[in-house]
Amino acid sequence: MFSEGMLLLVGKGFLETLYMTIVSTVMAYVIGLPVGMLLAVTDKEGIRPSPTINRTVGGIVNVLRSVPFIILLVAVMPITRLITGTSLGSSATVVPLVIAAAPFVARLVESSAKEVDRGVIEASLSMGASTMEVVCKVLLPEAKPSLIVGAAIATTTILSYSAMSGFVGGGGLGNIAINYGYYRSQTDIMLVMVAILVLIVQVIQEIGNFISNKCDKRIR
């Protein structure tokens, strides 16, 4: 079943999947990290409560999160074409992936930031820290272990989304699983693709947990 051509194809698919996942995760964090912090800071229990900002941003996040990814994939095609010039292939998939993942990341970041002990934040304010200093010097470093675990969750979610994009012509392992495994009924190929995806998820999760534990100074 695995001819040399097939092996090359799988290798290419693997790299494409990694490429989509990594680029999308990074970009989702570029957007999601500040948005998540904004949500945590403007919360009514936050250091700068602002119901207007919190509800507006939170509303947008909720709307984007409730659209099923497969619909989002199709719906944002015009935007994808505008940005990448095409709606096919792995680079094109990055656009809907980021749009779907950024709000998810924002919520993950928000929840990590809210885990930081209120007393520590109060202590920082009592020492004269500004809002920005609290975010950069207290919330982010203190939430780091939790943020890293969140990043592992986000990465694996993005990975599985990227596989879904195979349906609409995105690249990667998902595409191979659908084109060869599903449409051509080559169940073995589909299973192998799924197995590789499972393996990647395991590895990412383990790495995430390891780094999180390693950098968490609360332990011992």
218 touches another protein (CB under 8 A): yes
For 182, counting Cβ atoms within 10 Å of its Cβ (0-12 exposed, 13-18 middle, 19+ buried), the class is: middle
Site string (128-167) toward another protein, x via CB under 8 A: xxx--x---xx--xx-xx----------------------
Name the residue nearer to another protein (CB basis): 1 or 127. Answer: 127
Q: Is 127 one of the binding residues for another protein (CB under 8 A)?
A: yes
* Beta carbon of residue 217, minimum distance to another protein (angstroms, whole number): 4
Give yes or no for residue 220 binding another protein (CB under 8 A): yes
Q: Is 120 in the site for another protein (CB under 8 A)?
A: yes
**Candidate residues 15, 53, 125, 201; the one interacting with another protein per rule CB under 8 A:** 125
Report the C-alpha gap between 47 and 131 in whole angstroms.
7
The site map against another protein for 75-104 (x = CB under 8 A) is ------------------------------
User: Rule CB under 8 A: which of 180-209 touch another protein?
Assistant: none
Residue 85 or 128: the one with the smaller Cβ distance to another protein is: 128
C-beta closer to another protein: residue 43 or 142: 142
Positions touching another protein (CB under 8 A) are 117, 119-120, 122-130, 133, 137-138, 141-142, 144-145, 215-220
